[in-house]
Amino acid sequence: MHPILRQLEFYVSDANLLKDEFTRNLMKEHSCQIPLEIFNSSYKKLQLHKQTLDQVIEICKASKHLKINDNKCVVLNREPRNTPVTVIVKTTKNPFKFDNVISAFKKEGQWELGFYEQEEADECFAKYNNTEKDAEKQSDNKPKTYVKGLILKVTNLPTDTRRGDFTKIFEEFGEVKFVDFYDGNEFACVRFKESSPEATILAVNKFQQTSLQINNQEVVVTLVEGDEEKETWDKILNPKGGNGSKQNYKRNQKSGRKFK
């Protein structure tokens, strides 16, 4: 980027206008269209380049953030910033209901509601102060569910098994979400993504017909189901309160690898 263009874009940037009162006043005075001649004559860093107005205009053509209009004024070439807007809402319905206002504006982003009387403000605050917190609490209390049939268990593993062995083997059947295994363990759990519900069946069918060997040792591949599946998912969805050995599960999680 040309140094003149970089300097001009900086002068009219939000970061500079917050502290540059001179440029801010120029923006107000000229309705955000400052004559380029003022920039050239008033800003020392621009004067150092000794460029004519026509040369600067040509340089500014490469900018995505500003342009020079027909009057040779610098104009911001961007979407206007969103600024707070005050809206007066009147209703013919009587009595006035807070629920109607909230229902009408809840999809419009962040907004503020003003009151003439303290009593009205207190009433609204008492009713809606904890609305978002209550919604979050209700969401947390909902029972967590899982998709059945996504987890395989691989047993009879040799001692030199590594996590990468499972990745290479099972990715041909579907997208692997997580491998729950740490070095030295006698078994591993391979969990597939929900987008690959058929992966476990394909893998089990294949390795029932053709034995699977890892590092020259035959291993057993089974589908995790029933109570074992429920207990496994309980540990996944509720690691702090799941059944079984929480310490071992955390160690497995720490060593496991996630696939996005």
Give the end of a domain, one of 76, 101, 127.
76
Q: Read off φ and ψ for residue 12, nearest 5 degrees.
A: -100, 10
Give the end of a domain, one of 50, 76, 102.
76
- Eight-state DSSP code of residue 82: P
Q: Give the residue, 101 or 200, on which the prediction is more confident.
A: 200
Type of residue at 164: G
What is the dihedral angle through the alpha carbons of 56, 61, 63, 69, rounded to the nearest 10 degrees?
A: 80
Whole-number Å distance between alpha carbons of 242 and 232:
9
Residue 41 is predicted with a pLDDT of 80
Residue 248 is predicted with a pLDDT of 45
Residue 69 belongs to a domain: yes
pLDDT tens for residues 213-228? 999 999 999 999 999 9
Long-range interactions of 50-55: CB distance < 8 A, separation 24+ = 51/4
Whole-number Å distance between alpha carbons of 117 and 142:
39
67 and 161 part of one domain: no
Type of residue at 189: C
- Eight-state DSSP code of residue 79: P
Residue 223 belongs to a domain: yes
Residue 252 is predicted with a pLDDT of 43
Range of the structural domain that residue 27 is part of: 3-76
Residue 244 is predicted with a pLDDT of 42
Residue 117 belongs to a domain: no
Domain of residue 60, CATH code? 1.10.10.10
Residue 128 belongs to a domain: no
Whole-number Å distance between alpha carbons of 224 and 125:
51
Q: How crowded is residue 199: how many other Cβ atoms within 10 Å of its Cβ?
A: 24
Residue 29 CB-density burial (10 A; 0-12 exposed, 13-18 middle, 19+ buried): exposed
Q: How crowded is residue 187: how many other Cβ atoms within 10 Å of its Cβ?
A: 15
What percent of the chain is modeled with pLDDT above 70? 70
137 HSE (CA, 13 A, CB side) = 5
Domain of residue 244, CATH code? 3.30.70.330
Residue 111 belongs to a domain: no
Q: To which residue do tokens 């609490």 refer?
A: 137
Residue 150 is predicted with a pLDDT of 93
On whether the CB atoms of residues 199 and 174 are closer than 8 A, the answer is: yes
Residue 7 is predicted with a pLDDT of 82
pLDDT confidence bin for 115, thresholds 50/70/90? low
* Of 143, 92, 142, 101, the residue nearest 120 (C-alpha): 101
155 and 69 part of one domain: no
Q: To which residue do tokens 């008492």 refer?
A: 126
Order of strands across the sheet with 217-223?
Answer: 212-214, 217-223, 151-155, 187-192, 176-180, 257-258
What percent of the chain is modeled with pLDDT above 90? 20
Residue 221 is predicted with a pLDDT of 94
pLDDT tens for residues 61-112? 877 777 777 777 777 655 444 555 666 666 555 565 666 666 776 666 666 6
CA distances from 210 to 169, 197, 213 (A): 13, 21, 10
- Strand segments, DSSP code E, in 77-224 are 151-155, 176-180, 187-192, 212-214, 217-223
Give the end of a domain, one of 57, 76, 95.
76
Query: 0.75 exceeded by the pTM?
Result: no
Residue 11 belongs to a domain: yes
71 and 161 part of one domain: no
pLDDT tens for residues 141-198? 666 778 889 999 999 999 999 888 898 899 999 989 999 998 888 899 999 988 888 8
Domain count, the chain: 2
What is the dihedral angle through the alpha carbons of 26, 5, 54, 29, rounded to the nearest 10 degrees?
A: -10
Residue 166 belongs to a domain: yes
Lowest mean pLDDT among 93-97, 126-130, 230-234: 93-97
Return mean pLDDT, the chain: 76
Whole-number Å distance between alpha carbons of 193 and 111:
39
Residue 186 belongs to a domain: yes
161 and 245 part of one domain: yes
